[in-house]
Amino acid sequence: MTNPGRLSAPGDLDKPGSLSGPGSLQANGSPAGPAAATESEEATKPAPDPAGAGIPAGEPLAAFAKRYNLEPAAARPPVLKYLRLLWQRRQFITGFATASNVAMYSEARLGQLWQVLTPLLNAAVYFFIFGVLLHVNRGVPGYVPFLVTGIFVFNFTQRSCITSSTVMRENLPLIRALPFPRGCLPLGYVIIELQQLLLSFTVLFVIILAYGEPLTWYWLLTPLVLVFQTLFNVGCAFILARWGSGFDDVSQLLPFIIRTWMYASGVIFSISTSLALVPGQSLYNHKHLAYLLQINPAAVYITLIRNSLLTEQRISMPGYHPYNALRCAMYGSPAKFHVSPAQFKNEVIYFSSYCHPIVSQPALWLYAVGWALLAVVVGFVFFWRAETRYGRG
């Protein structure tokens, strides 16, 4: 050290704020070494994008997303794209339905037999109350196949509606964990009920044949009717799934509405004959009300399947034969013509086919197609519009 405050060795301090050796400070106080230069260059670079997308400085995120065709993960897809997504996940839908169907009765000792026993037990109860005690079967040929067919077919729509009303709330963990079109869930639940219906139909066919109904080509119309009914059920499932996702009251109120719908759909009695053609019955003087009851969706699908499977029902439908006033009057008022009970049961009970129909058979097919298309289109759009809301509550 030669002078106070001065170093003669490398890196000595020859003037205030400077070092003469490597790593010395210049007069302006900036780093002079290679490491310092590198740090200086890094400091002047723009901060990296935290998402790693390389968004240019000053460019709005919306513009950047549009340039690279990026979409928000929770955005609602367009209708056609949404339909494609559902079709791409058809294996997931059917697999989900099959697994749920198998697990539904896994803890019961009778297992899958309950899918058949439940509607059969309901049919037995209704037959005892309405057929034996109240004699509602009056004027209906082959009442047991008539009743069982109506219960099985209506049960398909009933179960589809009730289970779909709770499907979104019951599957909240699945909705929040996996990205998929939420429409897969109500579709899957309708398929569950369709699988159960097909199993029940094997028992229904045995019952029908055991009661002497012949096997005819009209049976081939049954799958077509089921296609229309399934589409209608899908539309109802979409609507009720959206309502049920936000309001638990829907699932609480729905069983009462469904039960009323069942009584108004001719499941237990014949709207077109017993109530509309017999003097003194509730619909004899209210043809407009009888018309509305006959064109309600459940009644339409039940009637078409009955006419496909049950020959006695088909040949006794009003309008099956050309109009005959005398025979029509004999069906409505057998006592007036001194018709014995045995004669009525074996012959006159089929004279309802000589009466004017309130709703013709071709009209029923048109209503079947119309209800199916209306329900599935309206239900799908209604459900799709709330796609981003499911799973939030």
| pLDDT tens digits for range 61-113 | 777 777 777 666 567 889 999 999 999 999 989 988 888 887 777 676 666 67
Q: Is the dihedral of CA 124, 127, 132, 134 positive or negative?
A: positive
Q: Name residues whose C-beta falls within 8 Å of residue 258's C-beta, 6 or more positions apart in sequence.
A: 158, 161, 162
What pLDDT score was predicted for residue 279? Answer: 73
* CA 338/CA 327 separation, integer angstroms: 13
State the DSSP code for 77. P
Specify the pLDDT at position 286.
Answer: 84
Distances, alpha carbon 4 to alpha carbons 7, 21, 269, in Å: 9, 19, 120
Locate tokens 């899908």: which residue?
234
pLDDT for the residue numbered 272: 83
Report yes or no: 225 and 305 within 8 Å, Cβ to Cβ: yes
What local confidence, expressed as pLDDT, does residue 15 receive?
A: 46
Q: Is 347 helix (H, G, I), strand (E, B) or coil?
A: coil
DSSP 8-state symbol, 284? T
pLDDT of residue 11: 44
Burial-class residue 329 by CB neighbours within 10 Å (0-12, 13-18, 19+): middle
In this structure, are residues 120 and 215 in contact, taking their beta carbons and an 8 Å threshold?
no
Torsion angle of the four alpha carbons 100, 104, 106, 110, in this order, in degrees rounded to the nearest 10: -140
- Report pTM: 0.79
Largest interatomic CA distance in the chain: 147
Q: Where are the alpha helices (DSSP H) in the chain?
A: 34-44, 61-67, 79-88, 90-104, 114-126, 143-164, 167-170, 172-177, 184-210, 222-246, 249-263, 287-294, 297-309, 311-315, 325-332, 341-346, 361-384
Q: Are 74 and 388 in contact (CB under 8 A)?
A: yes
Q: CB of 234 within 8 A of CB of 187?
A: yes
d(CA 206, CA 228): 24
Q: What is the pLDDT of residue 304?
A: 97
Residues of the chain with pLDDT under 50: 1-52
Structural contact between residues 105 and 111, judged by C-beta atoms closer than 8 angstroms: yes
Task: Specify the pLDDT at position 55.
Answer: 67
338 vs 326: CA distance, rounded Å: 13
